[in-house]
Structure 1
Protein backbone atom coordinates (compact mmCIF):
# COMPACT_ATOMS: atom_id res chain seq x y z
CA UNK A 1 0.00 0.00 0.00
CA UNK A 2 1.75 3.13 -1.20
CA UNK A 3 0.82 6.58 -2.42
CA UNK A 4 1.63 7.25 -6.06
CA UNK A 5 0.95 10.81 -7.20
CA UNK A 6 0.87 9.78 -10.86
CA UNK A 7 -1.72 7.04 -10.15
CA UNK A 8 -3.85 9.47 -8.14
CA UNK A 9 -3.84 12.00 -11.01
CA UNK A 10 -4.63 9.31 -13.62
CA UNK A 11 -7.50 7.80 -11.61
CA UNK A 12 -8.80 11.28 -10.74
CA UNK A 13 -8.92 12.24 -14.42
CA UNK A 14 -10.70 9.00 -15.38
CA UNK A 15 -13.28 9.46 -12.61
CA UNK A 16 -13.72 13.15 -13.49
CA UNK A 17 -14.54 12.19 -17.08
CA UNK A 18 -16.98 9.44 -16.04
CA UNK A 19 -18.73 11.44 -13.29
CA UNK A 20 -18.91 14.48 -15.60
CA UNK A 21 -20.16 16.83 -12.87
CA UNK A 22 -19.74 19.86 -15.12
CA UNK A 23 -21.95 18.19 -17.72
CA UNK A 24 -24.62 17.44 -15.12
CA UNK A 25 -25.09 21.10 -14.14
CA UNK A 26 -28.24 21.37 -16.30
CA UNK A 27 -29.63 18.25 -14.58
CA UNK A 28 -28.77 19.69 -11.15
CA UNK A 29 -30.50 22.97 -12.01
CA UNK A 30 -33.49 21.04 -13.37
CA UNK A 31 -33.71 18.92 -10.21
CA UNK A 32 -33.48 22.03 -8.03
CA UNK A 33 -36.42 23.63 -9.85
CA UNK A 34 -38.44 20.41 -9.42
CA UNK A 35 -37.75 19.78 -5.72
CA UNK A 36 -36.76 23.24 -4.55
CA UNK A 37 -33.53 22.39 -2.74
CA UNK A 38 -30.49 20.21 -3.21
CA UNK A 39 -28.33 19.44 -0.20
CA UNK A 40 -24.83 19.59 -1.71
CA UNK A 41 -23.15 18.15 1.39
CA UNK A 42 -25.57 15.24 1.66
CA UNK A 43 -25.33 14.41 -2.07
CA UNK A 44 -21.51 14.62 -2.08
CA UNK A 45 -21.04 12.53 1.06
CA UNK A 46 -23.59 9.93 -0.08
CA UNK A 47 -21.93 9.64 -3.51
CA UNK A 48 -18.48 9.34 -1.89
CA UNK A 49 -19.65 6.62 0.49
CA UNK A 50 -21.40 4.72 -2.32
CA UNK A 51 -18.25 4.85 -4.47
CA UNK A 52 -15.84 3.81 -1.71
CA UNK A 53 -18.09 0.98 -0.48
CA UNK A 54 -18.61 -0.23 -4.04
CA UNK A 55 -14.85 -0.13 -4.66
CA UNK A 56 -14.30 -2.62 -1.84
CA UNK A 57 -17.38 -4.86 -2.00
CA UNK A 58 -19.07 -4.05 -5.31
CA UNK A 59 -18.20 -7.10 -7.35
CA UNK A 60 -18.75 -9.48 -4.42
CA UNK A 61 -22.10 -7.83 -3.64
CA UNK A 62 -23.29 -8.09 -7.23
CA UNK A 63 -22.19 -11.75 -7.36
CA UNK A 64 -23.95 -12.43 -4.05
CA UNK A 65 -27.30 -11.23 -5.38
CA UNK A 66 -26.69 -12.90 -8.73
CA UNK A 67 -26.09 -9.80 -10.82
CA UNK A 68 -23.06 -9.52 -13.05
CA UNK A 69 -21.31 -6.22 -13.78
CA UNK A 70 -22.75 -6.17 -17.31
CA UNK A 71 -26.35 -6.37 -16.07
CA UNK A 72 -25.64 -3.60 -13.57
CA UNK A 73 -24.19 -1.38 -16.28
CA UNK A 74 -27.12 -2.05 -18.65
CA UNK A 75 -29.59 -1.14 -15.88
CA UNK A 76 -27.64 2.06 -15.23
CA UNK A 77 -27.73 2.87 -18.94
CA UNK A 78 -31.55 2.79 -18.83
CA UNK A 79 -31.61 5.27 -15.93
CA UNK A 80 -29.26 7.60 -17.82
CA UNK A 81 -31.36 7.14 -20.97
CA UNK A 82 -34.55 8.30 -19.24
CA UNK A 83 -32.79 11.25 -17.59
CA UNK A 84 -31.47 12.25 -21.03
CA UNK A 85 -34.97 12.04 -22.51
CA UNK A 86 -36.23 14.36 -19.78
CA UNK A 87 -33.53 16.88 -20.66
CA UNK A 88 -33.97 16.70 -24.44
CA UNK A 89 -37.75 16.54 -24.68
CA UNK A 90 -38.58 18.67 -21.64
CA UNK A 91 -40.86 15.97 -20.22
CA UNK A 92 -40.91 14.68 -16.67
CA UNK A 93 -40.43 10.94 -16.24
CA UNK A 94 -38.85 10.84 -12.78
CA UNK A 95 -41.66 11.53 -10.30
CA UNK A 96 -41.09 11.38 -6.57
CA UNK A 97 -43.79 13.51 -5.01
CA UNK A 98 -42.74 12.66 -1.46
CA UNK A 99 -39.17 13.92 -1.79
CA UNK A 100 -38.30 17.34 -0.47
CA UNK A 101 -34.80 16.98 -1.86
CA UNK A 102 -33.17 15.14 -4.74
CA UNK A 103 -29.88 14.82 -2.90
CA UNK A 104 -29.62 11.03 -2.77
CA UNK A 105 -31.82 9.86 -5.68
CA UNK A 106 -31.25 10.68 -8.49
CA UNK A 107 -28.30 13.01 -7.73
CA UNK A 108 -25.86 10.96 -5.59
CA UNK A 109 -27.09 7.79 -7.28
CA UNK A 110 -27.23 7.29 -10.26
CA UNK A 111 -25.95 10.67 -11.56
CA UNK A 112 -22.70 11.01 -9.59
CA UNK A 113 -22.11 7.44 -8.41
CA UNK A 114 -23.94 5.66 -11.21
CA UNK A 115 -23.40 2.47 -13.15
CA UNK A 116 -20.69 4.03 -15.31
CA UNK A 117 -18.77 5.18 -12.24
CA UNK A 118 -19.25 1.83 -10.50
CA UNK A 119 -18.06 -0.26 -13.45
CA UNK A 120 -15.12 2.14 -13.91
CA UNK A 121 -14.18 1.68 -10.25
CA UNK A 122 -14.18 -2.09 -10.67
CA UNK A 123 -11.89 -1.88 -13.69
CA UNK A 124 -9.60 0.68 -11.98
CA UNK A 125 -9.24 -1.63 -8.98
CA UNK A 126 -7.56 -4.22 -11.17
CA UNK A 127 -4.99 -1.69 -12.45
CA UNK A 128 -4.21 0.68 -9.57
CA UNK A 129 -3.48 0.66 -5.82
CA UNK A 130 -6.70 0.90 -3.78
CA UNK A 131 -5.37 3.74 -1.59
CA UNK A 132 -4.74 5.87 -4.69
CA UNK A 133 -8.25 5.17 -5.99
CA UNK A 134 -9.75 6.21 -2.63
CA UNK A 135 -7.78 9.48 -2.70
CA UNK A 136 -8.94 10.09 -6.28
CA UNK A 137 -12.56 9.47 -5.22
CA UNK A 138 -12.20 11.99 -2.37
CA UNK A 139 -10.68 14.60 -4.72
CA UNK A 140 -13.56 14.12 -7.18
CA UNK A 141 -16.17 14.34 -4.41
CA UNK A 142 -14.66 17.67 -3.27
CA UNK A 143 -14.96 18.93 -6.85
CA UNK A 144 -18.54 17.61 -7.05
CA UNK A 145 -19.40 19.48 -3.84
CA UNK A 146 -17.93 22.75 -5.16
CA UNK A 147 -19.90 22.46 -8.44
CA UNK A 148 -23.15 21.54 -6.64
CA UNK A 149 -22.72 24.39 -4.17
CA UNK A 150 -22.06 26.94 -6.92
CA UNK A 151 -24.80 25.69 -9.29
CA UNK A 152 -27.12 28.65 -8.46
CA UNK A 153 -24.33 31.07 -9.45
CA UNK A 154 -23.65 29.08 -12.62
CA UNK A 155 -27.39 29.14 -13.38
CA UNK A 156 -27.51 32.96 -12.98
CA UNK A 157 -24.41 33.37 -15.13
CA UNK A 158 -25.81 31.27 -17.99
CA UNK A 159 -29.39 32.57 -17.83
CA UNK A 160 -32.55 30.71 -18.79
CA UNK A 161 -31.78 30.48 -22.52
CA UNK A 162 -28.17 29.44 -21.95
CA UNK A 163 -29.30 26.72 -19.56
CA UNK A 164 -31.89 25.53 -22.06
CA UNK A 165 -29.27 25.14 -24.77
CA UNK A 166 -26.82 23.43 -22.39
CA UNK A 167 -29.58 21.17 -21.02
CA UNK A 168 -30.51 19.94 -24.51
CA UNK A 169 -26.87 19.60 -25.56
CA UNK A 170 -25.88 17.65 -22.47
CA UNK A 171 -29.09 15.66 -22.77
CA UNK A 172 -27.83 14.41 -26.13
CA UNK A 173 -24.38 13.75 -24.61
CA UNK A 174 -25.98 11.86 -21.71
CA UNK A 175 -28.07 9.90 -24.21
CA UNK A 176 -24.89 9.00 -26.10
CA UNK A 177 -23.21 7.90 -22.85
CA UNK A 178 -26.26 5.74 -22.05
CA UNK A 179 -26.17 4.13 -25.50
CA UNK A 180 -22.40 3.55 -25.23
CA UNK A 181 -22.76 2.02 -21.76
CA UNK A 182 -25.58 -0.18 -23.04
CA UNK A 183 -23.71 -1.27 -26.19
CA UNK A 184 -20.48 -1.99 -24.31
CA UNK A 185 -22.23 -4.22 -21.78
CA UNK A 186 -25.20 -5.81 -23.56
CA UNK A 187 -22.93 -8.31 -25.33
CA UNK A 188 -21.70 -9.49 -21.94
CA UNK A 189 -25.24 -10.51 -21.00
CA UNK A 190 -25.30 -13.21 -23.66
CA UNK A 191 -21.83 -14.70 -23.19
Structure 2
Protein backbone atom coordinates (compact mmCIF):
# COMPACT_ATOMS: atom_id res chain seq x y z
CA UNK A 1 0.00 0.00 0.00
CA UNK A 2 2.94 2.33 0.69
CA UNK A 3 3.82 2.23 -3.03
CA UNK A 4 0.37 3.54 -3.91
CA UNK A 5 0.23 6.24 -1.24
CA UNK A 6 2.89 8.91 -0.76
CA UNK A 7 2.19 10.70 2.51
CA UNK A 8 4.62 13.56 1.87
CA UNK A 9 3.12 14.35 -1.53
CA UNK A 10 -0.38 13.91 -0.12
CA UNK A 11 0.14 16.48 2.65
CA UNK A 12 1.89 18.96 0.37
CA UNK A 13 -0.76 18.65 -2.34
CA UNK A 14 -3.64 18.88 0.15
CA UNK A 15 -2.18 22.09 1.60
CA UNK A 16 -1.72 23.59 -1.86
CA UNK A 17 -5.23 22.67 -3.05
CA UNK A 18 -6.87 23.96 0.12
CA UNK A 19 -4.92 27.19 -0.22
CA UNK A 20 -6.16 27.63 -3.79
CA UNK A 21 -9.74 26.59 -2.99
CA UNK A 22 -9.66 28.85 0.11
CA UNK A 23 -13.17 27.89 1.33
CA UNK A 24 -13.40 30.88 3.71
CA UNK A 25 -12.72 33.36 0.93
CA UNK A 26 -15.60 32.01 -1.14
CA UNK A 27 -18.13 32.11 1.72
CA UNK A 28 -19.03 35.84 1.33
CA UNK A 29 -19.36 35.34 -2.44
CA UNK A 30 -21.56 32.29 -1.93
CA UNK A 31 -23.79 34.10 0.55
CA UNK A 32 -24.18 37.10 -1.77
CA UNK A 33 -25.01 34.95 -4.77
CA UNK A 34 -27.56 32.87 -2.85
CA UNK A 35 -29.14 35.79 -1.00
CA UNK A 36 -32.53 35.24 -2.67
CA UNK A 37 -32.42 31.44 -2.41
CA UNK A 38 -34.37 29.30 0.02
CA UNK A 39 -32.36 27.14 2.48
CA UNK A 40 -33.06 24.09 0.31
CA UNK A 41 -31.85 25.87 -2.84
CA UNK A 42 -28.73 27.07 -1.02
CA UNK A 43 -27.92 23.49 0.04
CA UNK A 44 -28.48 22.33 -3.53
CA UNK A 45 -26.08 24.97 -4.85
CA UNK A 46 -23.44 23.91 -2.29
CA UNK A 47 -23.74 20.25 -3.32
CA UNK A 48 -23.52 21.12 -7.03
CA UNK A 49 -20.39 23.19 -6.43
CA UNK A 50 -18.77 20.39 -4.43
CA UNK A 51 -19.63 17.75 -7.05
CA UNK A 52 -18.46 19.92 -9.96
CA UNK A 53 -15.13 20.76 -8.33
CA UNK A 54 -14.52 17.11 -7.40
CA UNK A 55 -15.19 15.83 -10.93
CA UNK A 56 -13.00 18.45 -12.62
CA UNK A 57 -10.11 17.91 -10.20
CA UNK A 58 -10.24 14.11 -10.55
CA UNK A 59 -10.29 14.41 -14.34
CA UNK A 60 -7.15 16.56 -14.10
CA UNK A 61 -5.46 13.81 -12.08
CA UNK A 62 -6.54 11.04 -14.45
CA UNK A 63 -5.81 12.55 -17.86
CA UNK A 64 -4.05 15.86 -17.22
CA UNK A 65 -0.66 14.73 -18.50
CA UNK A 66 -2.22 13.05 -21.52
CA UNK A 67 -3.91 16.33 -22.47
CA UNK A 68 -0.56 18.10 -22.26
CA UNK A 69 1.00 15.44 -24.48
CA UNK A 70 -1.65 15.98 -27.14
CA UNK A 71 -0.63 19.64 -27.36
CA UNK A 72 3.08 18.83 -27.22
CA UNK A 73 3.62 20.57 -23.87
CA UNK A 74 6.20 19.06 -21.53
CA UNK A 75 5.69 19.01 -17.77
CA UNK A 76 8.61 21.35 -16.88
CA UNK A 77 7.18 24.07 -19.12
CA UNK A 78 3.71 23.56 -17.68
CA UNK A 79 5.18 23.61 -14.18
CA UNK A 80 6.68 27.05 -14.82
CA UNK A 81 3.47 28.35 -16.40
CA UNK A 82 1.36 26.92 -13.58
CA UNK A 83 3.69 28.39 -10.99
CA UNK A 84 3.34 31.83 -12.54
CA UNK A 85 -0.46 31.52 -12.54
CA UNK A 86 -0.50 30.44 -8.90
CA UNK A 87 1.94 33.22 -7.99
CA UNK A 88 -0.48 35.72 -9.51
CA UNK A 89 -3.39 34.23 -7.58
CA UNK A 90 -1.44 34.36 -4.33
CA UNK A 91 -0.34 37.96 -4.86
CA UNK A 92 -3.87 39.06 -5.72
CA UNK A 93 -5.10 37.42 -2.49
CA UNK A 94 -2.37 39.17 -0.51
CA UNK A 95 -3.10 42.58 -2.02
CA UNK A 96 -6.90 42.33 -2.05
CA UNK A 97 -8.52 45.12 -0.06
CA UNK A 98 -11.92 43.50 -0.02
CA UNK A 99 -13.30 41.37 -2.83
CA UNK A 100 -11.76 41.31 -6.28
CA UNK A 101 -13.65 43.17 -9.02
CA UNK A 102 -14.09 39.90 -10.89
CA UNK A 103 -15.74 38.36 -7.86
CA UNK A 104 -18.11 41.33 -7.54
CA UNK A 105 -19.02 40.92 -11.19
CA UNK A 106 -19.62 37.22 -10.60
CA UNK A 107 -22.06 38.05 -7.82
CA UNK A 108 -24.08 40.35 -10.07
CA UNK A 109 -23.96 37.88 -12.93
CA UNK A 110 -25.03 35.08 -10.60
CA UNK A 111 -28.16 36.94 -9.51
CA UNK A 112 -29.13 37.44 -13.13
CA UNK A 113 -28.85 33.74 -13.95
CA UNK A 114 -30.45 32.40 -10.74
CA UNK A 115 -29.22 28.89 -9.82
CA UNK A 116 -27.15 28.52 -12.99
CA UNK A 117 -24.26 30.15 -11.11
CA UNK A 118 -23.65 26.94 -9.15
CA UNK A 119 -21.33 25.58 -11.85
CA UNK A 120 -20.27 28.84 -13.52
CA UNK A 121 -18.88 31.01 -12.00
CA UNK A 122 -19.05 29.66 -8.42
CA UNK A 123 -17.47 26.27 -9.13
CA UNK A 124 -15.54 27.39 -12.24
CA UNK A 125 -13.46 29.52 -12.02
CA UNK A 126 -14.00 30.95 -8.51
CA UNK A 127 -13.33 27.64 -6.71
CA UNK A 128 -11.37 25.60 -9.24
CA UNK A 129 -9.50 27.26 -12.08
CA UNK A 130 -6.20 27.11 -13.97
CA UNK A 131 -4.16 27.25 -10.77
CA UNK A 132 -5.77 24.14 -9.29
CA UNK A 133 -5.52 22.22 -12.54
CA UNK A 134 -1.86 23.21 -12.91
CA UNK A 135 -1.00 22.05 -9.38
CA UNK A 136 -2.87 18.77 -9.94
CA UNK A 137 -1.02 17.95 -13.16
CA UNK A 138 2.38 18.90 -11.73
CA UNK A 139 1.93 16.77 -8.61
CA UNK A 140 0.55 13.83 -10.61
CA UNK A 141 3.75 13.83 -12.67
CA UNK A 142 5.72 12.97 -9.52
CA UNK A 143 3.80 9.72 -8.95
CA UNK A 144 3.12 6.47 -10.77
CA UNK A 145 -0.25 5.91 -12.45
CA UNK A 146 -1.77 4.05 -9.52
CA UNK A 147 -0.21 6.26 -6.85
CA UNK A 148 -1.44 9.49 -8.41
CA UNK A 149 -5.06 8.32 -8.24
CA UNK A 150 -4.78 7.10 -4.63
CA UNK A 151 -2.59 9.90 -3.25
CA UNK A 152 -3.96 12.90 -5.14
CA UNK A 153 -7.48 11.51 -5.39
CA UNK A 154 -7.66 11.17 -1.60
CA UNK A 155 -6.44 14.74 -1.12
CA UNK A 156 -8.96 16.06 -3.65
CA UNK A 157 -11.87 14.26 -1.99
CA UNK A 158 -10.89 15.68 1.42
CA UNK A 159 -10.40 19.20 0.05
CA UNK A 160 -13.70 19.15 -1.85
CA UNK A 161 -15.50 17.81 1.23
CA UNK A 162 -14.12 20.73 3.25
CA UNK A 163 -15.25 23.16 0.55
CA UNK A 164 -18.72 21.62 0.60
CA UNK A 165 -18.94 21.86 4.39
CA UNK A 166 -17.87 25.49 4.22
CA UNK A 167 -20.67 26.30 1.79
CA UNK A 168 -23.30 24.23 3.60
CA UNK A 169 -22.57 26.04 6.87
CA UNK A 170 -21.65 29.37 5.28
CA UNK A 171 -24.11 31.37 7.41
CA UNK A 172 -22.85 29.98 10.71
CA UNK A 173 -19.18 30.22 9.73
CA UNK A 174 -19.57 33.82 8.56
CA UNK A 175 -21.17 34.84 11.86
CA UNK A 176 -18.67 32.87 13.98
CA UNK A 177 -15.44 33.81 12.22
CA UNK A 178 -16.24 37.31 11.05
CA UNK A 179 -15.01 39.16 7.97
CA UNK A 180 -11.78 40.33 9.62
CA UNK A 181 -10.65 36.80 10.47
CA UNK A 182 -11.63 35.59 7.00
CA UNK A 183 -9.36 38.26 5.53
CA UNK A 184 -6.50 37.26 7.87
CA UNK A 185 -6.81 33.57 6.95
CA UNK A 186 -6.98 34.51 3.28
CA UNK A 187 -3.60 36.27 3.60
CA UNK A 188 -2.10 33.23 5.30
CA UNK A 189 -3.38 31.01 2.49
CA UNK A 190 -1.93 33.51 -0.01
CA UNK A 191 1.55 33.27 1.50
CA UNK A 192 1.39 29.47 1.25
CA UNK A 193 0.33 29.75 -2.39
CA UNK A 194 3.21 32.10 -3.24
CA UNK A 195 5.68 29.67 -1.64
CA UNK A 196 4.26 26.75 -3.66
CA UNK A 197 4.41 28.86 -6.82
CA UNK A 198 8.06 29.81 -6.31
CA UNK A 199 9.01 26.18 -5.78
CA UNK A 200 7.10 25.13 -8.90
CA UNK A 201 8.80 27.78 -11.06
CA UNK A 202 12.31 27.02 -9.79
CA UNK A 203 11.84 23.26 -10.16
CA UNK A 204 10.35 23.70 -13.63
CA UNK A 205 13.26 25.85 -14.78
CA UNK A 206 15.80 23.41 -13.35
CA UNK A 207 14.07 20.44 -15.02
CA UNK A 208 13.76 22.26 -18.35
CA UNK A 209 17.44 23.19 -18.37
CA UNK A 210 18.37 19.63 -17.41
CA UNK A 211 16.17 18.21 -20.20
CA UNK A 212 17.38 20.53 -22.98
CA UNK A 213 21.00 20.86 -21.81
CA UNK A 214 21.84 17.57 -20.07
CA UNK A 215 24.88 17.75 -17.85
CA UNK A 216 24.84 21.53 -17.58
CA UNK A 217 23.44 21.58 -14.05
CA UNK A 218 25.77 18.82 -12.96
CA UNK A 219 28.82 20.54 -14.39
CA UNK A 220 27.82 23.81 -12.73
CA UNK A 221 27.96 22.13 -9.34
CA UNK A 222 31.51 20.76 -9.92
TM-score, scaled relative to structure 1: 0.70
Establish whether residue 35 from structure 1 lines up as the match of residue 67 from structure 2: no
Q: CA deviation at 1:153?
A: 1.5
Would the alpha carbon gap of residues 43 and 61 (structure 1) be closer, same or farther in structure 2, given more than 3 Å must change?
same
Secondary structure of the 1:7 match is coil
Quick one: distance in 1 between partners of 2:197 and 2:13? 19
Would the alpha carbon gap of residues 168 and 107 (structure 1) be closer, same or farther in structure 2, given more than 3 Å must change?
same
In the other structure, the counterpart of 1:98 is: 109
Q: What pairs with 1:78-89 in structure 2 (closer than 5 Å)?
A: 78-86=88-96, 89=97
Q: CA deviation at 1:69?
A: 2.7
Secondary structure of the 1:90 match is coil
Gaps of 5+ in 2: 36-41, 112-116, 210-222
Q: CA deviation at 1:48?
A: 0.9
Alignment check: 8 A CA contact 2:81 2:201 kept: yes
Establish whether residue 48 from structure 1 lines up as the match of residue 81 from structure 2: no
Q: CA deviation at 1:154?
A: 1.3
Quick one: distance in 1 between partners of 2:7 and 2:33? 35
Would the alpha carbon gap of residues 109 and 84 (structure 1) be closer, same or farther in structure 2, given more than 3 Å must change?
farther
In the other structure, the counterpart of 2:175 is: 156
**Alignment match of 2:82 (pick from 47, 57, 72):** 72
In the other structure, the counterpart of 1:144 is: 163
TM-score, scaled relative to structure 2: 0.62
Quick one: distance in 2 between partners of 1:166 and 1:64? 44
Quick one: distance in 1 between partners of 2:125 and 2:8? 23
Question: What's the CA shift string for 1:109-157, capped at 9, x where partnerless?
Answer: 4545662564255424533624423344334433332232112221122
In the other structure, the counterpart of 2:185 is: 170
Q: Which has the larger radius of gyration?
A: 2
Q: CA RMSD in A?
A: 3.5
The answer to which of 66-75 and 181-190 deviates more is 181-190
Q: CA deviation at 1:12?
A: 5.4
Establish whether residue 26 from structure 1 lines up as the match of residue 24 from structure 2: yes
Q: CA deviation at 1:8?
A: 7.9
Establish whether residue 182 from structure 1 lines up as the match of residue 182 from structure 2: no
Would the alpha carbon gap of residues 75 and 118 (structure 1) be closer, same or farther in structure 2, given more than 3 Å must change?
closer
Alignment check: 8 A CA contact 1:74 1:181 kept: no
Quick one: distance in 1 between partners of 2:185 and 2:201? 23
Secondary structure of the 1:142 match is helix
How many pairs are equivalent?
182
